[in-house]
Amino acid sequence: MLTRRSLVKAAAGLATLAATPVLAQTASWPSRLLKIVVPLPPGGVMDGLTRVVADRLAQRLGQSVIVENKPGANGMIAASAVAGADPDGYTILSTMSSIVQNVSLHKSPSYKMSDLLPLAPLGRLPIAFIVPKTLGVTTLREFIGKARSSSKPLSYGTYGLGSSAHIIGEVLMKNTGIKLLQVPYRGEAPALTAILAGEVDSAFVSVGGAVAQAENALTLAIANPVRMKRYPDIPTFDEAGFPVLGLTGFSGFFAPAAVPRPVADRLGRELREIVALPDVNSKLLDLGFEDMSDVADFAGFVDDEVKRWASVIHEFNISI
């Protein structure tokens, strides 16, 4: 005869059997190659820094770690691929602020934030505004004056429609009354190539990308509340007299939401420790990132970023 006690024991047994594969998977992780997906093409600072982290992660885990570039749709292609991947800890996303911007820019984004689990921050990412030296301006005020007097809109390159670069450009236009023509590219490297080739009059790129082109392009300002420690000679938009709300971006690592907690915790710990290594942290600063070691609760930080960018997008009526 079935009793309540026997039913409880049977249910407990079934639960144990169901959990066994997960426990076994967790105990043996990692046992094969890991993949870090980047939403940009090769050649940009985000791709380069992710590869540095991937090399260190491989050393610490004793398994190969590859970087796979999936550019397009302002990071949605990469984010969707990771959100839909097996939640086994072998697929990671290294991405930027676009991950939180897309959910406000699109009525039906291809992923939800709840599909992804924040693992660890990589760094804050101030955005630089650059112009080719051939444009004939040396300050942001001169650029604004040239834009106001031009018979046709000056152009600005971005690393994607709906990116931080696009949003900051829209805020700058509304705060100054100028009109600029956005030219979106599939990543930072193509945007920088366009500046050097004279295809666009200006561009929003990473500080690291801007500094690397100092021979041919001038960095007029950065979107950051304060000047950067590594590049203190570059003024902020506020200092230049044209506020853009201190719209600093961020970058970090995510996994599919259902990754087993022990695996997620291990990944998060390893990634934080790698980013904190002196040589990796120095590389991070050289490439124009700012340290984010002060962010203890990355998941909470991401939630706040969703709200912050949503507020800007709605206030300035930005659409794509």
Cβ–Cβ under 8 Å, residues 73 and 40: no
With beta carbons less than 8 A apart as the criterion, state whether 66 and 36 touch.
Answer: yes
Residue 23 pLDDT > 90: no
Give pLDDT tens digits for 144-190. Answer: 999 999 999 999 999 989 999 999 999 999 999 999 999 999 888 89
Q: What are 291-315's pLDDT values in tens digits?
A: 999 999 999 999 999 999 999 999 9
Q: Outline where DSSP puts E strands in 42-192.
A: 65-69, 91-96, 116-125, 127-132, 154-158, 180-184
Q: Please give the mean pLDDT across all residues of the chain.
A: 92
Contact (CB, 8 A) for 218 and 130: yes
**pLDDT digit string (tens) for 220-252?**
999 999 999 899 999 999 999 898 888 999 999
**What local confidence, expressed as pLDDT, does residue 180 receive?**
97
Domains of the chain: 34-124+250-316 (3.40.190.150), 127-245 (3.40.190.10)
What pLDDT, on a 0 to 100 scale, did the predictor assign at position 20?
A: 47
Global confidence as pTM = 0.88
